Structure 1
Amino acid sequence: MEAKENVRGRFAPSPSGRMHLGNVCAALLSWLSVRSQQGDWVLRIEDLDPRRSRREYAKWIQSDLQWLGLDWDEEPVWQSERTSIYEAKLDQLQRQNLIYPCFCSRADLHSASAPHGTDGELLYSGRCRNLSEEQRLAQAKIRRPALRISVNKAPISFTDGLQRQIIQHLDQTCGDFIVRRSDGVFAYQLAVVVDDGLMGMTEVVRGLDLLSSTPRQLYLYRCLGLPEPKFYHIPLLMNVQGQRLSKRDQALDLGELRRRWSAPELIGKLAWLLGLRESEEAIEAKALIHDFDWAKVKREPIFVPETLFIRSYKIG
C-alpha cells in the first residue's frame, strides 16, 4: 500500500507591520486545509529585507495568530537566518549558466523599448544578458549589479486549486527576472521557492495578487530540481465601492480588529465571507476543521461590508 503524503502548509508573513484582514484570510484557510488533513502547519517569517522588517512586528504576528487560535508546529523559521542556503542554490543556478549580472537602473528599465508585461509589470528587454566580459567589468566599476535568471520560450502551466489552469510564457510576460537585488538582498522569488522546496511544503495558500508570480517560481522549482507544491490563490478582498483593500487601511489591521471583535466573532465573520458557513455566527477556528472543504471557498472577489472594519471600539 502506497504511503500517504505528509501534508505540510505554511503561513509566511513579512514583518513590515501588523497583520491585516487579507493576511488573516490566507492564514485561516491554509491552517484549516492542513489541520483537516492532519498535516503540519509551519510559521515562516520572511524578514529578508532589513529596511522593512522589524522583530517587534514579528512578535505582533505571533501574538495575533495565537489570539485567533491558529497554532503552528515546529519552531518559527526566519529567512534572515537562511542566507547561506540561498547562496548555495544561487550557486547551483550559476553552474547551469542561468545567472548573469544586470546593471540597469530603474530609469534604464523604464526607458527601454520593451513592452509592458501582464498586470502592468515591465517586461525586461534582456539588454544585459549578452554583455561581454569586458563590458561587465567596466559596468561593475560604476554600479553594483543585480542578478537575473535567463528564461526560455517554453510555456509554464499549472492548475490552481481555486482558480483555473494558468499558462504563461515568461519571455513574453516578465522576461529574465531578478533573483538577487543590487543591494545583495535575495529576491522573494528565489527565497520562497528554496524555502518551500527544502521545507517540504505540499500546499501554498496566498492571495490572488501573487498568482502572476507563480510561473516564475515554478520555473525556479524546475531549474533547482525541487518538489512543487499545490497552489491555492484566494480571491482579493474588496470594499463596497469595488476597491481592493490594502495594508494601508489601518481599520483592517489586527490591532484595530481585536479592539472591535473577539476572536470567535472575527473568525465567524471571515468564515461567512469566505463561503465556509452560511451565517456570521461566532465560532472558534478549531470548530471549522471537521467540515472544511476547498469546494466551499469563494472564487470571485470578496466584498467586505463596512460594518466589519469601521473604526469602533467595544465598551467595557
Structure 2
Amino acid sequence: MTVKTRFAPSPTGYLHVGGARTALYSWLYAKNQGGQFVLRIEDTDLERNSQEAVDAILEGMKWMGLDWDEGPYYQSKRFDRYNECIDLLLSEDKAYKCYASKELLEEIREEQEANKEMPRYDANHPKVVAANAAAKEGDDYVVRFRNPKEGSVVFEDQIRGRIEISNSQLDDLIIRRTDGAPTYNFVVVVDDWDMGITQVVRGEDHINNTPRQINIYEALGAPVPTFAHCAMILGDDGAKLSKRHGAVSVMQYRDEGYLPNALNNYLVRLGWSHGDQEIFSEEEMIQLFSLDAVSKSASAFNTDKLLWLNNHYIKTSAPEYVAKYLQWHIEQQNLNIDNGPAITDVIELVGERCNTLVELAEQIRYFYEDFSEFEAGAAKKHLRGVARGPLELALAKVEALADWSTESIKEGVIAAVCEELEIGMGKIGMPLRVAVTGGGQSPSVDAVMALIGKERVIARIKLALEFITAREANA
C-alpha cells in the first residue's frame, strides 16, 4: 500500500509556524516512506475564506520547498460529492434531519447547565422530539450524524499511543447546516477516503475531532487512516505562540531574511530529534524522519537558535542557493547589482558575517554603488592627515598594478606600502577600508578591493584623499 499524507489548511489567514511544521512533518513522512503528499484547501467556511489567504498558503509552501504530488484540491468544489455521501447516510438511517432551532437548543443547554448536567445535544430530549414532530415541509433543518451510543472509539496515535473515547461522550454532530453546506468533520472524512489518505498528521487541537471522524469513516465503509497528533508550539515564555512573540507567518520569516532550509531545519527539530544532531540537510531529514520520534510534549520556539541556524546556512550553503533567495531582498532595498562583481562571489566573501539576508543585502551595497560620503565615525577616526601618505602611496601602487587579484593587492599594494613606509598594517589597512567601502566594517580589504574592481578603487581612494584635504583645510 502506498503511503499518502496530506496537508489541509483553512484559507482564513497566512501559513503560520504551527501549520508549516505540520506540513513539513507530513511531507517528510511521505518522502521517507516513498509515498505521496497531497495539498488540500479546506475552504468550506465561505464567509471567512479569502483568495488572499489561499495565495499566502501556496506561496509559503512553495517558498519552503514543500512540493505536493496532488492538488491543490478545494473543498468548495466538492459539495456535490459531500451531499451525495450525506444522502447515502440518510437513506441508511445513519444520519437524520433535525428541525430544532438554535434558540431551542440554547434553551435546553441553559437548562442542562442549571441542573449541573454536561451541556450537549440530546436527540431524545422531549423538546427536540416535539420540534421534529411538529416540523412541516419547507422548515429549516440540519442533518446530524447518528453517532453510536454504545462502546468506545479506540485508535493508536503514532505520536501519543493508544487513545480511547467512549461513544457516550460524543453527541450527534451536525454534518450539513441549514443553508445546505456540509461541515468540517464530515467533509474531511470524505476527502481522506476519496484521496486515499493513509496517514493524517495534524495538531493536537484535532484530537477531540478524531473519534467523531472515525465513526463517520466506519459508517461510510471507508478505511480509517492512521493518525498522528503533534503537540503545540510555545513561545520563549511558555505561552502559546502568537503574534506578540514576533514573526509567526512563514512569509514573515522570508521578509526578515531567513533561508527556507534554515527554517525547515529549525522546524523539524521543534518536536523531533535524531540523537544530538542539530544540522540536517533536506536529504538527511527525509532519510531519518520518523513520526515515532516526534515528542508528545510542547516545544518552545527560540528565535536566537533560529538566527544561529540561519547564519550557518548563509555561510555553508552554495552561493547560488543563497543568491536565489537574496534576490528578493536586493529588490526590496532597490539595489542594482548589474554593475559590479558576480553576486555569488560577493556572497562567498561577505555571507559569513551576516545572520540574515536583510543584513547581507545591506552590507553588499558598496560593491555595486558608488558613494559621495563616508561613514562619519569611521572617517573621523581613519581619514586623517596621518593617512594621506599611506593612501597616496597605495593609490600609486594600485594604478601601477598589472595583475588585479586578491594576492597581488595584498602583496603589491598593502604589504608594499607597509614595507616602504615602515608602518604597521593598521596604518594603511583601515584608511584603505574606509576609502573603498565608505565604512569601517568589511571582510579582508584586499579581497574586497579585488571584487570592487581597479577603476572604482582608484576613484574611491582619490575621494578619500580629497576628504582628508578638505578636513585639513577646515581644521
**The TM-score by the shorter chain falls in which range?**
0.7 to 0.9
Percent of pairs identical after alignment?
30
Q: 2:269 is paired with a residue of what secondary structure? A: helix
Cα displacement (A) at 1:137 = 2.3
Could you say which residue in structure 2 is the equivalent of 1:31? 27
Matches of 1:204 and 1:274, distance apart in 2: 17
TM-score, length-normalised on structure 2? 0.59
Contact 1:156/1:167 (<8 A) preserved: yes
Could you say which residue in structure 2 is the equivalent of 1:197? 193
Matches of 1:171 and 1:268, distance apart in 2: 43
Q: Is it true that 1:101 corresponds to 2:145 in the alignment? A: no
Match of 1:89 among 77, 85, 91: 85
User: CA, structure 1 residues 86+247, in 2 after alignment: closer, same or farther (shift >3 Å)?
Assistant: farther
Could you say which residue in structure 2 is the equivalent of 1:304? 301
Cα displacement (A) at 1:102 = 4.3
Matches of 1:250 and 1:109, distance apart in 2: 43
Q: Is it true that 1:44 corresponds to 2:43 in the alignment? A: no
- 1:71 partner letter: D
Cα displacement (A) at 1:244 = 2.0
Q: 2:229 is paired with a residue of what secondary structure? A: strand
Give the unaligned 5+ runs of structure 1. Answer: none
- 1:155 partner letter: S
Cα displacement (A) at 1:287 = 4.0
Cα displacement (A) at 1:292 = 1.3
Q: 1:130 is paired with a residue of what secondary structure? A: helix
Matches of 1:49 and 1:184, distance apart in 2: 12
Q: Is it true that 1:160 corresponds to 2:157 in the alignment? A: yes
- 2:261 partner letter: P
Summarize the alignment of residues 1-316 of structure 1 with structure 2, pairs less than 5 Å apart.
Answer: 5-97=1-93, 98-105=95-102, 107-108=106-107, 110-113=109-112, 122-126=119-123, 127=125, 130-131=129-130, 134-137=133-136, 141=139, 144-151=140-147, 152-172=149-169, 174-246=170-242, 251-260=247-256, 261-277=258-274, 278=276, 280-281=278-279, 283=280, 285-307=282-304, 314-315=358-359, 316=361
Q: More deviation in 158-167 or 96-105?
A: 96-105
Cα displacement (A) at 1:267 = 1.0
Matches of 2:185 and 2:244, distance apart in 1: 24
Matches of 2:243 and 2:50, distance apart in 1: 16
Cα displacement (A) at 1:150 = 2.1
User: CA, structure 1 residues 14+153, in 2 after alignment: closer, same or farther (shift >3 Å)?
Assistant: same
Q: 1:92 is paired with a residue of what secondary structure? A: helix
Residue deviations 1:56-95 (CA, integer Å, cap 9, x gap) = 2212211111111111013311101100000110011101
User: CA, structure 1 residues 54+187, in 2 after alignment: closer, same or farther (shift >3 Å)?
Assistant: same
Q: More deviation in 231-240 or 81-90?
A: 231-240
Matches of 1:50 and 1:308, distance apart in 2: 39
TM-score, length-normalised on structure 1? 0.86
Matches of 1:204 and 1:256, distance apart in 2: 27
Contact 2:100/2:128 (<8 A) preserved: no
Give the unaligned 5+ runs of structure 2. Answer: 308-355, 362-475
Contact 1:112/1:125 (<8 A) preserved: no
Could you say what the CA RMSD is over the residues aligned between the two structures, in angstroms? 2.6
Cα displacement (A) at 1:46 = 0.6
User: CA, structure 1 residues 70+170, in 2 after alignment: closer, same or farther (shift >3 Å)?
Assistant: same
Q: More deviation in 294-303 or 248-257?
A: 248-257
User: CA, structure 1 residues 181+280, in 2 after alignment: closer, same or farther (shift >3 Å)?
Assistant: farther
